Chains A and B, each alone.
Chain A
Amino acid sequence: MRGIAYLAWRHASAHRGRTLLLVGCIALALWVPWTAGALARLYDADLRARASSTPLVIGAPGNRYDLTLAALYFRPSELETVTYAEMERLQREGRATFVPMHLRFTARGAPIVATSVEYAEFRGLVPREGTDPLRIGEVTLGAGVADALGLGAGDRLYSDPTELYDISRPPALKMRVAGVYARTGTADDDAVFCDVRTAWVLEGIAHGHQSTDQIEDDLVLSRTDESVSVSGALIEYAEVTPENEASFHYHGDSSILPLSAILALPESQKDGTILKSGVNARRTHQAVTPSAVVDDLLGVVFRIKAFFDLVGAFLVATTAALVALVFLLSSRLRAPEMRTLDRIGAPRRAALGLVGLEVAGVLILATAAAGGATALTLALLPDLVATF
């Protein structure tokens, strides 16, 4: 068999173009379903892990998928808001720790998660430099955002403008980077965290005043005893500084301060059940269990995946048929060679062995290539996703 294997190897290497094409085709046919399967398993694990670690999400009545995905992955969505007063009311019941979340704004494309220090504690976010956001106007960056934007503690980050024609809101808030959280491998890496009060500044609910004495003379259009007219170039952003911090305040009743969602971390399962049923019974809010919602969503995803599995199976079957055809035709072309070997005294199984070993070799190479490509894809996936 060693001699036959040698002949098979020489044949394959002499026709390396054809061999590589076959290896490539088979590897591709295997890589697609393998990668899809591995990714599906990874997504499944990631999604379930994050959902399972989040006991309850409370929000306004509406689409529970949107609420859950917003609370877990900060997906931008037009959620109806709940009030901070509602969170305080729930907190007084004492059944859970409640974490406020405001998710409406972005900074250079990254979601701004306006929350409280309990969020960082709950998710295990530890500053790798600097601190948590300690005051309004301060942000702490997820590791991914910090790396992508090249920012660190002490730098400044502008929020993205939302409604350019709403003069009640600052077009952008210049925020001080208080720190950067260590990488967690979750959606937290790609978010910007600040205190929930900072979001209220962005909403225009809280604001400060800039002293007219601090305005540069060339930006002042006219100045009278009662008023100062300034150039439009002046207030391109708002910024909370130690000098103007004391002037920041809320207008209106603090009970209407809006939140996108409230994470609830019950003291016990019993507390969680009572809390959930109590919130849902009132119908003014909804409490959802993220793991149940994600299970439901994954059911959809995996039905779609099953379709892709079927497509993958067809792809593999088609490739297998094509490969078989190639070898069949190749065997026909090699009939004189087989006859010669037969006449020279090769064993009866030599022809089968020659083709079989070549097929096996191609399959082994293709499998290895597909395995390597799958591993590489999974390793480089974040970069690939960032690229595309």
Chain B
Amino acid sequence: MPRPIHSILAALAVASLAACGGDAQPERSARGPRSNVVAVASGPTQLVAEALLGADLVRTVAPAGTRMADWRPDDEAIRQMVDARRVLVVGGEFEPWLQRTSLPPSRTVTLTDLVPVDRKIEVGAIEHTHGGGESHSHGGIVPTVWTDPVQLRAAIEALAESLPASLDGVERTNVQAPRAALLGRIDAYEASLRELGATASGRTVIATDHGLEYVARAAEVELEVALLELDGGGPPNDQGVRDLERLAKDPSSHAGVLVWPGAIDAAFAERVQEQLGLVSVHFDLGGEVDGPGSSDALERLTASVDALREAIQESRSR
């Protein structure tokens, strides 16, 4: 085998590099994940993990009700995730903090990577401004994959063996019943979606962001998005306002509701109802961690579907 001369020199250089260590005594000790838990920070990952492992083996590191878009994990939360056997995250742009946090790649499981590629919805990036603010854009895969029952089932199936196997003392038989129960609830959620589709009966549902894309597809409802971006408390996205006005123009084409996956801006909602005749409806996508005694992500999601269906019914009856 030919050996370039620089490799020979490199070998000698290595000798000098190795010498730098001298004969100091190593102070090593074994390291690795120490907590026999799976760490989660959001509602959907909590839902899946607890269904497959039980609540005792799931460590929720984000406070209940925290929006992932706003969360900055503190050092303790990061340490807890690093120490866990697995960290279950949604992925995509759902958890922006992931880009700035040092999680172990080999132990980080991303929900969006587990679902079929052809089921993912990608939206184009649109550059825009808010009043006089900086220009920016959003786009890519819509991260709310768990709201699609097909993808949620796929994720659960994908994790059914590997997640319990990552922990000590979890036998596959132990997780059969809760998993079956969750799958049953997903069926119920799917039925609610079908009812929603039937209620909308071909009318467009207008939403303030793309989080509802999978819900709409599963319910066979046509979704239009007016990207208002009012979460920050600033002025609405100019293009979003124009889109909203355009979409609301023909009352016969839409379902008479404006769906807010985020918090409703009361003042803006009131203006929309007065000027465009759209009733604002909050839709909880289940993205936040649920607190003790509160509903889990799927319950909130199903309830939101039912509430939306009722709102559409009410709007159409007016």
A contact residues vs B (CB 8 Å cutoff): 39-40, 42-43, 46-47, 50, 63, 65-66, 69, 73, 75, 87-88, 91-92, 97-100, 116-118, 120-121, 123-126, 128, 131-136, 138, 144, 182-187, 189-190, 195, 197, 206, 225, 240, 242, 245-246, 248-250, 296-298, 300-301, 304, 378-379, 381-382, 385-386
- In angstroms, Cα B22 to Cα A187, docked, is 10
Q: Are B105 and A91 in contact (CB under 8 A)?
A: yes
Q: Across the interface, name the chain A residue whose C-beta is closest to B28.
A: A124
- In angstroms, Cα B3 to Cα A182, docked, is 37
Shortest beta-carbon distance from A170 to chain B in Å: 16
Q: Are B7 and A126 in contact (CB under 8 A)?
A: no
B-chain residues with CB within 8 Å of residue A42 when the two chains form the complex: 18-19, 23
Q: Given contacts A47-B18, A385-B19, could you give 7 more A-B pairs where the C-beta distance is less than 8 Å?
A: A69-B13, A69-B14, A98-B106, A185-B22, A185-B26, A300-B7, A382-B21
**Chain B: interface residue count, which band?**
35 or more
A-chain residues with CB within 8 Å of residue B79 when the two chains form the complex: 131, 134
Contact partner, B100, options A75, A197, A379, Cβ 8 Å: A197
- In angstroms, Cα B219 to Cα A118, docked, is 43
Q: Are B20 and A182 in contact (CB under 8 A)?
A: no
A-chain residues with CB within 8 Å of residue B29 when the two chains form the complex: 124, 126
Question: Given A126-B31, A197-B99, A118–B104 Cβ distance below 8 Å?
Answer: yes
Q: Tell me if B1 is interfacial: C-beta within 8 Å of chain A.
A: yes
Q: Are B105 and A100 in contact (CB under 8 A)?
A: yes
User: Which 6 A-B pairs give the minimum distances between C-beta atoms?
Assistant: A124-B28, A382-B22, A195-B102, A185-B24, A182-B27, A297-B11
A-chain residues with CB within 8 Å of residue B218 when the two chains form the complex: none
Q: Across the interface, name the chain B residue whose C-beta is closest to A250.
A: B99
Q: Are B100 and A186 in contact (CB under 8 A)?
A: no
B-chain residues with CB within 8 Å of residue A124 when the two chains form the complex: 26, 28-31
Q: Are B21 and A185 in contact (CB under 8 A)?
A: yes
- In angstroms, Cα B15 to Cα A385, docked, is 11
Contact partner, A301, options B11, B27, B28, B31, Cβ 8 Å: B11
Shortest beta-carbon distance from B5 to chain A in Å: 10
Q: Are A39 and B19 in contact (CB under 8 A)?
A: yes
Q: Are A75 and B10 in contact (CB under 8 A)?
A: yes
Question: Given A65-B7, A98-B105, A134-B75, A297–B14 Cβ distance below 8 Å?
Answer: yes
B-chain residues with CB within 8 Å of residue A296 when the two chains form the complex: 1, 3
Question: Given A125-B31, A131-B75, A135-B100, A301–B12 Cβ distance below 8 Å?
Answer: yes
* Cβ contacts A to B, 8 pairs, < 8 Å: A97-B106, A124-B28, A134-B101, A184-B28, A249-B99, A301-B11, A304-B12, A381-B19
Using a CB-CB cutoff of 8 Å, which residues 1-54 of chain B contact chain A?
1, 3-4, 7-8, 10-32
Q: Are A246 and B96 in contact (CB under 8 A)?
A: yes
Contact partner, A43, options B15, B105, B113, Cβ 8 Å: B15
Q: Are A183 and B27 in contact (CB under 8 A)?
A: yes
Shortest beta-carbon distance from B110 to chain A in Å: 9
B contact residues vs A (CB 8 Å cutoff): 1, 3-4, 7-8, 10-32, 72, 75, 78-79, 82, 96, 99-107, 113, 132
Shortest beta-carbon distance from B58 to chain A in Å: 21
B-chain residues with CB within 8 Å of residue A138 when the two chains form the complex: 102
- In angstroms, Cα B20 to Cα A116, docked, is 24
Q: Are B7 and A134 in contact (CB under 8 A)?
A: no
Question: Given A63-B4, A135-B78, A183-B27, A73–B32 Cβ distance below 8 Å?
Answer: no
A-chain residues with CB within 8 Å of residue B32 when the two chains form the complex: 121
A-chain residues with CB within 8 Å of residue B17 when the two chains form the complex: 73, 75, 187
- In angstroms, Cα B14 to Cα A40, docked, is 12
A-chain residues with CB within 8 Å of residue B106 when the two chains form the complex: 91, 97-99, 116, 118
Shortest beta-carbon distance from B24 to chain A in Å: 4
Q: Are B15 and A126 in contact (CB under 8 A)?
A: no
Q: Across the interface, name the chain A residue whose C-beta is closest to B29.
A: A126
Q: Are A65 and B72 in contact (CB under 8 A)?
A: no
Q: Are A298 and B18 in contact (CB under 8 A)?
A: no
- In angstroms, Cα B132 to Cα A80, docked, is 43
Q: Are A385 and B20 in contact (CB under 8 A)?
A: yes
Q: Across the interface, name the chain B residue whose C-beta is closest to A47.
A: B18
Q: Across the interface, name the chain B residue whose C-beta is closest to A297.
A: B11
- In angstroms, Cα B78 to Cα A186, docked, is 28
- In angstroms, Cα B28 to Cα A252, docked, is 39
Shortest beta-carbon distance from B129 to chain A in Å: 12
Shortest beta-carbon distance from B161 to chain A in Å: 12
Q: Are B100 and A298 in contact (CB under 8 A)?
A: no
Q: Are A382 and B14 in contact (CB under 8 A)?
A: no
Tell which of B16, B19, B29, B100 has the most Cβ of chain A within 10 Å: B100
Shortest beta-carbon distance from A222 to chain B in Å: 19
Tell which of A98, A190, A381 has the most Cβ of chain B within 10 Å: A381
Question: Given A125-B31, A197-B102, A301–B15 Cβ distance below 8 Å?
Answer: yes
Q: Are A73 and B14 in contact (CB under 8 A)?
A: yes
Q: Are B16 and A185 in contact (CB under 8 A)?
A: no
